[in-house]
A and B are shown apart, each in its own frame.
Chain A
Amino acid sequence: NAGVTQTPKFQVLKTGQSMTLQCAQDMNHNSMYWYRQDPGMGLRLIYYSASEGTTDKGEVPNGYNVSRLNKREFSLRLESAAPSQTSVYFCASSEGAGEGTDTQYFGPGTRLTVL
């Protein structure tokens, strides 16, 4: 039981490049989330998916798109990377349907640098 896995662990992009961050969970959870964590800012929600086939914006969605490919996988895409998107990205999942009342389990994070 791997929990929540994320790929890649590290990535360096040039401004304007695109990339997709992958996330998968093997806990049969309904909800999945993408956060970014910046120094002095705490964790901020980018997008979430309360169930397969649904996605909703979080606090900081601009510049990102997401896909809930199936119940296990939730990807985050940067279409045209900007230096302001340099951050640590965490994927998380929870058993419930996005009510925010249950425990979230986090992946190990992706450290992204945009030059």
Chain B
Amino acid sequence: RKEVEQDPGPFNVPEGATVAFNCTYSNSASQSFFWYRQDCRKEPKLLMSVYSSGNEDGRFTAQLNRASQYISLLIRDSKLSDSATYLCVVNQAGTALIFGKGTTLSVSS
């Protein structure tokens, strides 16, 4: 079983749509969870950390379910500028981050 799994997509949505990405992780001892965003041919950048109680940053909402080892990212009112690859990231053994392969989102007008 892969350590961090994501649906690769692509997700093709119109502007204004709501879209949700899911991610599962295999290491139950994982402690920290993140969503990174990567634009085409650019470096990854932190989008948001994911907390146990769930957290929101504007149009973005992240949820964590430790029992199911599941992380989600919800994007409301999608913008053209949201088009990117979204990486689910989990820490392992306190020393290394494990990156999912990413989910590609394409928002069209």
Contacts and interface: CB of A to CB of B under 8 A. Distances in A.
Interface of A: 35, 40-45, 48, 50, 56, 58-59, 90, 98-109
B22 to A, nearest CB: 16
- Chain B residues touching A, range: 20 to 34
A100 B44 contact: no
A101 B31 contact: yes
Nearest to A104: B97
26 contacts: A40-B101, A41-B101, A42-B87, A42-B99, A42-B100, A42-B101, A43-B87, A44-B99, A48-B96, A50-B95, A56-B95, A58-B96, A90-B44, A98-B95, A99-B94, A99-B95, A100-B31, A100-B32, A100-B94, A100-B96, A101-B32, A105-B46, A106-B43, A108-B43, A109-B42, A109-B43
Contacts of A58: 96
Interface centre among A42, A48, A104 (most CB of B within 10 A): A42
A96 to B, nearest CB: 10
B94 A101 contact: yes
B44 A106 contact: yes
Given A43-B99, A59-B96, A90-B44, 7 more contacts: A42-B99, A42-B102, A45-B96, A56-B95, A58-B96, A100-B92, A106-B44
Interface in B50-109: 87, 91-97, 99-102
A108 B42 CA distance: 6
A35 to B, nearest CB: 8
A40 B100 CA distance: 10
The 6 A-B residue pairs whose C-beta atoms are closest, nearest first, are: A100-B91, A106-B43, A42-B101, A43-B99, A101-B32, A103-B46
Contacts of B44: 43, 90, 106
A47 B68 CA distance: 31
Interface centre among A50, A98, A99 (most CB of B within 10 A): A99
Nearest to A3: B43
A103 B45 CA distance: 9
Nearest to A103: B46
Nearest to A107: B43
